[in-house]
Amino acid sequence: MPSLTLLRHAKSSWDDAVTRDFDRPLNARGRRAAVVVGSWMKGEGLSFDHVAASPATRVIETLDGVSEGYGRPIEPAWDKRIYLASAATLLDLVREFPAGAAHALMVGHNPGLEDLVLALAADSPDSPLRGEVEIKYPTAAIAVLHWEGGWADACEGGAVLDRFVRPRDLAEGLGPDD
């Protein structure tokens, strides 16, 4: 049964004068959130045998912070197709994950990640976490899903959403009003 963790990049800075969206760095709150999320992942015992990530600057910097909090490097396969990808594209990428991988991490952007969670997670009254994702999938949020079969069996409504954690759930000062 595969386990897929989806991590949205941490809060980026709109104050930097970069010419391309791809090059936007994290802001101070985003850097802090990435470390906090990495620490939470370590505490939860999350581990990955496959990691795929967008090569955008804000994703690279998010993974640097997550690695710091996690206590060891998280080394992804950088994949430009993840950058601002639709849920359909992301699902195609998930279906390509190595058959031998049991736990994968994908790090990318919205709206694709949020839409992917909503597409994969079964819509049922027993899934209050799905409703939280519908409200908002903020920066540095993590969703963990699993389903029967392999990566190629990922399908709409076929997954269980085990966890949905936002930075504001983990530390003060990381919420939208902080």
Residue 178 pLDDT grade (very low, low, confident, very high; cuts 50, 70, 90): low
Residues 153 and 120: beta-carbon distance below 8 Å: no
Q: What is the token pair recorded at 122?
A: 């079964």
Residue-wise pLDDT tens digits, 129-161: 999 999 999 999 999 999 999 999 999 999 999
With a cut of 70, say whether residue 37 has pLDDT above it: yes
Q: How many CB atoms lie within 10 A of CB 36?
A: 22
With a cut of 90, say whether residue 47 has pLDDT above it: yes
- Cβ neighbours for 37, distance < 8 A, ≥ 6 positions apart: 7, 10, 65, 66, 69, 140, 142, 165, 167, 170
Separation CA 56–CA 173 (nearest Å): 25
Predicted pLDDT of residue 128: 85
Domain boundaries, the chain: 3-13+20-170
With a cut of 80, say whether residue 176 has pLDDT above it: no
Does 58 carry a binding-site annotation?
A: yes
- Section 11-37 average pLDDT: 89
Residue with tokens 């994702």: 133
Q: Which residue type is seen at 83?
A: Y
Q: Tell which wins on pLDDT, 173 or 56.
A: 56
**Residue 160 main-chain phi, psi, to 5 deg:** -105, 130
With a cut of 90, say whether residue 174 has pLDDT above it: no
Specify whether domain 3-13+20-170 bears CATH 3.40.50.1240: yes
> pLDDT averaged over the chain?
94
> Is the pTM of the predicted complex or chain greater than 0.85?
yes
With a cut of 60, say whether residue 10 has pLDDT above it: yes
Predicted pLDDT of residue 16: 67
Predicted pLDDT of residue 122: 86
How far is the CA of 137 from the CAs of 49, 50, 74, 109, in angstroms?
24, 23, 22, 10
Beta-bridge partners for 51: 105
